[in-house]
Amino acid sequence: MDLIKEINEKYQALEAEIDKKLEKVQAEELKLERQSEKLAEKAISTQSPKVLSYEEALQRNANTLKSLEIAKARLRSRSTYSPVEKLLQRALENYKNELASLNKQEHKSTGNSKPKKQELSGQVNVGDDDAKEEENLYDLIMHDVLEASSKSYTATGESRRN
């Protein structure tokens, strides 16, 4: 028991030393932070504002207006035409049509009087046939996206020619 007590006392003493050193380090950090804040305040207050000549100011303002007009035009063009959104809408429509046709085929093959509704959020009842359909679903959607992409590409190419 004395051995354990000695070990505990030894490590408690080491821990106390480390705590004292940590407090000193933290005090030094606070001191340095205060000094750096004071230096930053002095640097800010002593900076003289840059005086531009009339020509330099006109040039700076013209460049600023030009860059703002360019940014405005970019934002306007991006907000009015988005080919990605159009492609995704076409792919979604094709997916819905394909899903409806698959549901009709399933309805005919099972002979049920009422077809089951499936949610588009991916929550479908998975059977043996449904598992194969889900495996091919990604390929079907990508095919539709590529098809819609090629259609929009040819349409934009024709409109650019005109």
At residue 1, the pLDDT reads 77
Q: Which two tokens stand for residue 50?
A: 């840059």
pLDDT at res. 130: 65
What pLDDT score does 152 carry? 61
Non-local CB neighbours of 88 within 8 Å, separated by 6+ positions: 145
**Whether the Cβ atoms of residue 52 and residue 60 lie closer than 8 Å to each other:** yes
pLDDT in tens, 111-141: 655 544 444 444 444 456 666 666 677 677 7
Q: From CA 52, how far away is CA 59, in angstroms rounded?
A: 10
Contact assessment for residue 152 and residue 83, using Cβ atoms and an 8 Å cutoff = yes
Given this model, what pLDDT does residue 79 score? 66
- The confidence score (pLDDT) of residue 13 equals 94
Q: Which parts of the chain have pLDDT scores under 50?
A: 115-126, 162
pLDDT value at residue 153: 57
Q: Please check whether residue 115 is in contact with residue 107, taking contact to mean a CB–CB distance below 8 angstroms.
A: yes
Tokens of 132: 């194969």
Output the pLDDT for position 111: 67
CB 158 within 8 A of CB 105: no
